[in-house]
Amino acid sequence: MEKELWRQSATELAGLIYSKRVSSREVVQAHLDRIDEVNGEINAVTVVLAEAALAAADRADTSELSGPLHGVPFTIKENIDCVGSATTHGVPALAEAMPTMDAPIVARMKAAGAIPLARTNLPEMGLRITTDNPLRGRTLNPWDPDRTCGGSSGGEAAALATGMTPIGLGNDIGGSLRNPAYCCGITSLKPSPGRIPHATTLPPRDGGISAQLMSVNGPMARCVTDLRVALGILAGRDPRDPVSVDAPLQLPEPASRKVALVTDVPGIELPAATVAAIRQAGDLLAAEGWAVEETQPPELERVTEIWAYLLTHDISEMMPALMELMSEGPLRSLNNLIARYQPSTMPGLQVHTERNRLCRLWSEFFTDYPAMIGPTWCDLPFLHDADIDEETGIDLVINTLRFITPGSVLGLPSVALPMGVADGLPTGVQVYADRWREDICLDTAEIIEKQRPPVWPPRG
């Protein structure tokens, strides 16, 4: 076979299993072997479900085709319910928190024939943009072990980047699908809120208003085709999530084929490699007939400010509970965020009025530019724990996320897409479109990806 099984995409593996060129057991075993080979160094996988995965693979090999990912293994972030393993949220107090039902996205992956292979790491309560916690330890970036792998779905991204899994499940309220995709050189889809359901059997079963408006589940992979297949599996209404909806995955073609390139973020000097990647993406689209224009979306600085206020309104009320769960450094960072964006300085009514105004302005922007391409992060992956430095951590986090925050607070879909390697680190872009236009994000990313194949870190 031309490529090792652990280097294949999820859809490639599904095709091999369907044609009986390989068995599901062979595929699962190849990934278990890969975990054994590299996870001791990277620490992306926290719990390996080897026995159950091999048994499921044997059933898949003797049963009829059950769905588009029949017999293909997948991994699950440790804040998503998967029966038989704990939903730890990366904190010791929840080390034995066993769900009684799969999360809707896990159940849907299983119904599509996919096989849970392992759980992956995250920061405490998913509240950092790096991946480290006192329960499981630090996940390393496979490109540079001194730099962050991103967070909070950092275990998923590092596992994908090194071939320990072909596809995985994460979530995002402040870039947690997109941050680690950028840092590790893989791709991810952050959907519109409501597109993919969320539910848990563990308390608290209902999140605050910031989670209701901004938190989403989504797929992570090494190619856009896998994201598209996963979206078709995961999307749709679930009664356990009152925000979730049934909505078409493919909508009419936009009236224009114009793409906005964002190469300048106010107050930030983007890395040269990032600007080059954005312009290269624009060139690839121009070659396919798109009209490409460098421009600015509305009020980027205000967008980040409203995102932060929306979070701190909830986090400030959650602090007594978080103090019982989290360690000193991340707690100090959250308190610094609250101090910077004091809820009392912007009442809830103003936050939500401003959010709605910005949503309207950006939707109007997308009528002129159906697709927008800009940075994922506004800086390179930082050195470990720079995000919780008492003096500079908050500025680093806010400035890094200045083009992440629009997707979260405005409810926009986004694909984080690798674009190559610069100075030993992956570089990439982020493809935005208006709400419910995941199809535009995926179509646009796929055009670019055809000319920019997946990247593998030195350990991969």
Specify whether 3 is catalytic: no
Distance between CA 96 and CA 86 in Å, rounded?
A: 6
Dist CA 116 CA 112 (whole Å):
12
- Whether 77 is a known active-site residue: answer yes
- Helix ranges (H only) for 324-380 are 328-340, 348-368
335-347 burial: b if 16+ Cβ within 10 Å, else e: bbbbeebebeebe
Q: Concatenated DSSP letters for 232-259?
A: HHH-S-BTTBTT-----SS-PPPS--EE
Q: State the pairing for strand pair 73-77/258-261.
A: unpaired
Within 8 A by CB and 6+ apart from 8, the residues are 16, 166
Distance, CA of 75 to CA of 119 (rounded, Å): 6
Q: Which of 24, 85, 176, 215 is labelled catalytic?
A: 176
Catalytic residue of the set 24, 85, 152, 210 = 152
Give yes or no: 153 in active site.
no
**DSSP helix, strand, coil percent of the chain (3-state; round to 5):** 40, 15, 45
Q: What backbone phi and psi angles, to 5 degrees, belong to 241?
A: -120, 100
Active site residues: 77, 152, 176
